[in-house]
Structure 1
Amino acid sequence: GIYQCGPASTRAIKEGDVNLDYDSSFVFAAVNADCVTWIHHNNKRKERIFSDTRKIGKFISTKAVGTNSRVDVTANYKYPEVKEISFKITYSQYKNSLMDDRKILVTAV
């Protein structure tokens, strides 16, 4: 999607400093989020079945000065992706982050 936001320090976004004013935490989450697919079982157990760490924040752009062309600024906001690191989160660790719409609120650090 296309988003407009700011102000936010590019260095703070790249370094993960989300405790600054304005849109820093929002922009960090927007460019570093994972696209996760969950199964909600009948016994209220939830199971993560797929996670794509490279789908979101792949191309970060701004408009070029004086033209309508795109300028890629991804490297200003993100370090290059590293190899995937696998991890598991137990339900007890995320149960307090469940939203009413059955989505899970996740904050990356």
Structure 2
Amino acid sequence: MKIYHNPRCSKSRQGLAILEDSKNPFEVIKYLDKPFAKEELTELIKLLGIKPIDLVRKNEAIWKENYKGKTLTDNEIIEAMVNHPKLIERPIVINNGKAVIGRPPEIIKTIL
């Protein structure tokens, strides 16, 4: 099990607490410290079963200043998230070939 985590995010901290309470072993990946490779992020989006735009934090200043209102391809959206990992929704939890975005954090329990 893995959690893609940002310690500065309250929802991400809540998601981490859910995993800790589950007593299952898991790996914490601080994706701001170790950004995604493009292929890795593309695979994660497929595992989540969403479109790339659905993983973007659209209220981030980086998005508003550089991308909002533009017509972007899925590939360009993925590139934006690779280049600016703050744009990625969090936390993301992967367990046994399933993945969820922990918003709300309780959704993580559905894949434990």
Same fold (TM over 0.5): no
Q: Which has the larger radius of gyration?
A: 1
Ranked by relative contact order (alpha carbons within 8 Å, sequence separation 6 or more), the top structure is 2
Q: What is the TM-score of this pair, normalised by structure 1?
A: 0.23
